[in-house]
Structure 1
Amino acid sequence: MNQDKTFLGTEPIGKLLRQLAIPTVIAQLVNMLYNIVDRIYIGHIPGDGDLALTGVGVCLPLILIVSAFAALVASGGAPRASIYMGKQDHDTAEKILGGCFALQLAVSALLTAVLLLWSRDLLLAFGASENTIGYAASYMQIYAVGTVFVQLTLGLNAFITAQGFAKIGMRTVLIGAVANIVLDPIFIYGLHMGVRGAALATILSQGLSCIWVLRFLTGPKTLLRLKKENVRFRPALILPCVALGTATFIMQASESVISVCFNSSLLKYGDDIAVGAMTILSSVMQFAMLPLQGIAQGAQPITSYNYGARNTQRVRKTFRLLLKVCLCYSVALWAVIQLCPGAFARIFTPNAALVAFTVPALRIYCGALFLFGIQIACQMTFVSIGAAGCSIIVAVLRKFVLLLPLIYLMPRLLADQTMAVYTAEPVADAIAVTCTAILFTVQFRKALRKLDAED
């Protein structure tokens, strides 16, 4: 694999986006299987599958926080490494890679300690009930041990994709997902470990992916190599990466806060079945969002490289194509969910009552999904050009300014209070997309005019 170091600045945009986005989308869909497959197997455990599914669903906020910390480092570090590659400064790009690796190790150690010591208390705060806390705590105690694998796999794989090696990044995820699919039934049913088996299968699978990533980044085929001398914290290089990654961190970490708010509000107006439905809704939303994020991440190396190379024409063309593809996907998936919500619900549970409750909730919850192509295209382009401030504003607006208050406000406005909780999502999404589009129109043009003026 002798990749031309300048191909991101010379190959046709459409060809590049296909080459980078398709493997990245596949990787995102497969990556989703880590949690989805666990839930499918757990939901079908004879006897107590429904309670076990709800218990593992309560673990989702903590799992999202672990992933968010990986994104804090990688989603800022990888685009900045691509920008320096566009400037033909590979030495600085490799120092960014090494510094991000060092930071991820430190974060992993801290997260592991916190989860091992306080996961039960956190799960109770996040909506676990007396009926589900046993399942949730059992899953989380084992998952905590594999935190370092999650951090390094998600974090370092972003640097592989940022170099244009999307197929290698896809293989990273495939290795872990296939292992997870094989190990889940063995541990859950064959060894009668239940939710503990699901957690063990997940961390062992992530460990295999982690080994693959490290072997590639220290091998001869990578453009940016992970070197011992670069594994150190350089504030001048790493702090801007953390600043740029803050928007993605807020998006992902806020999911845990939002999940807590949804669960507490649903327990107030409904019961365990409403929380169980929320587990299914969040899983379907993952299915909706991850391919969108995969498409956007496929465009990120192209945008970042050409922004670093000051090729504004290619930056504009990449965004336009990204917007079209994202919109087509979000509209198509929205239509499928509205027409066949029951098909999605039955993937996760055979319980007829839970399926019946989930069907109208899913239609409401995903009501504004068709607009999300705009949100993702704009937000990822902000990150790709290093516009940390704008990306943070967009992330904070949607989750904290809009969705969080609406979760508690909507039940006061609508008669069906339980379904009103789910309504908060599409209302927040519609307002957020409108504001994002306006901000992007102004700031994107401003950033490119500034780049042209510097030339």
Structure 2
Amino acid sequence: MISALIAFSFLKSKKASLKLDFKEIRQFSWDIARKIIGLGSAAFTMQLTNTLVQIAGNFQLSVYGGDLYISIRTVIASITQIMDTPVHAMSEGASPVLSYNYGARNGKGIRKGIWIMVAMGISYTAAAWATIMIHPAFFISIFSDDPSMVNMAIPALQIYLFGYVFQSLQYAGQTVFKSLNRKKEAIFFSLFRKVFIGIPGMFIMPLLFTNKALGVFAAEPVSNVIGGLACFITMLIVIMPSLKKLDSSGLENRKSEYNV
């Protein structure tokens, strides 16, 4: 409520370039509502699939590892949630920049925004991954001081985060699709990484490990690598060529506007 009041007060102030007129609230538009829901469905799907993965992971660990490994997974989920916050914020921060340039038909601005977002995401995830790989016990001990649990959680954490850098590619690809109104692709790749790869991987990977509980954790890097690369490469193939056409059409529009 406080954040909403701050936002409303800003939009009614002199600082806002776009004023909020409360009379417009009465002019409800189903067309705009559908667009809002459509664009938000990508984020909704991502959160939903995270929940499904958590359920599947806990089920498999109850079979192969018991309560202790379920607790370890909870600790690892807490660590990764903290790690994901900055890269998620970078992606969300890039979204309005990409959307603005898309509306302005500025393909060059979109490309620049994409590569800056990718560079920031890869740099951060690589640094975060290296830090945790060097000091895994420190991060685990934040959530549990049980020595036996810390020792068992170290290899699980290292396996779970093995393909963490590729997650930045997933975030980047989905952000571009969402920002450029390609919601179908954004939803598909969220489902692809978690539901089509991640959940089946939790049932397949334990068959390849002596410690089957660690095999459940190994499904995460597999889904990150395959899903992240698939999403990012598809984005490059689908979006990048269209940005050149966007530049051309934008130039023609500007020429006609100024009668050049």
Same fold (TM over 0.5): yes
RMSD over aligned Cα, in angstroms?
1.8
CA offset at residue 225 of structure 1?
2.9
Equivalent residue number for residue 216 of structure 1? 7
How far apart, CA to CA, are the structure 2 residues paired with 1:420 and 1:226? 56
Matching of residue 354 in structure 1 with residue 149 in structure 2 = yes
Q: How does 1:26-175 map to 2 (within 5 A)?
A: none
CA offset at residue 211 of structure 1?
1.6
Does the C-alpha gap of structure 1 residues 386 and 357 become closer, same or farther in structure 2, counting only changes over 3 Å? same
CA offset at residue 227 of structure 1?
2.5
Task: State the secondary structure of the residue aligned to 1:432.
Answer: helix
- Alignment check: 8 A CA contact 2:61 2:216 kept: yes
How far apart, CA to CA, are the structure 1 residues paired with 2:73 and 2:235? 32
**TM-score (normalised: structure 2):** 0.88
Spell out, residue by residue over 1:193-217, the C-alpha distance to the aligned partner (whole angstroms, 9 max, x if none): xxxxxxxxxxxxxxxxx32332332
**TM-score (normalised: structure 1):** 0.52
Equivalent residue number for residue 289 of structure 1? 84
- Alignment check: 8 A CA contact 2:137 2:150 kept: yes
Q: What amino acid maps onto 2:186 in structure 1?
A: S
- Alignment check: 8 A CA contact 2:98 2:179 kept: yes
Please say which of residues 369-378 and 343-352 is displaced more in the overlay.
Answer: 369-378
Structure 2, unaligned runs of 5 or more: 251-260
Spell out, residue by residue over 1:48-68, the C-alpha distance to the aligned partner (whole angstroms, 9 max, x if none): xxxxxxxxxxxxxxxxxxxxx
Give the one of 37, 45, 50 matched to 1:250.
45
- Alignment check: 8 A CA contact 2:144 2:150 kept: yes
Equivalent residue number for residue 432 of structure 1? 227
Task: State the secondary structure of the residue aligned to 1:361.
Answer: helix
Percent pairwise identity = 30
- Alignment check: 8 A CA contact 2:72 2:153 kept: yes
CA offset at residue 285 of structure 1?
1.1
Q: What amino acid maps onto 2:68 in structure 1?
A: I
Q: What amino acid maps onto 1:353 in structure 2?
A: S
Spell out, residue by residue over 1:226-248, the C-alpha distance to the aligned partner (whole angstroms, 9 max, x if none): 72541675221111221122221
Does the C-alpha gap of structure 1 residues 217 and 351 become closer, same or farther in structure 2, counting only changes over 3 Å? same
Does the C-alpha gap of structure 1 residues 270 and 381 become closer, same or farther in structure 2, counting only changes over 3 Å? same
CA offset at residue 413 of structure 1?
2.4
How far apart, CA to CA, are the structure 2 residues paired with 1:237 and 1:229? 13
How far apart, CA to CA, are the structure 2 residues paired with 1:415 and 1:385? 45
How far apart, CA to CA, are the structure 1 residues paired with 2:215 and 2:24? 55
How far apart, CA to CA, are the structure 2 residues paired with 1:412 and 1:387? 37
Equivalent residue number for residue 271 of structure 1? 66
- Alignment check: 8 A CA contact 2:105 2:249 kept: no
- Alignment check: 8 A CA contact 1:333 1:370 kept: no
- Alignment check: 8 A CA contact 2:172 2:232 kept: no
Does the C-alpha gap of structure 1 residues 289 and 308 become closer, same or farther in structure 2, counting only changes over 3 Å? same
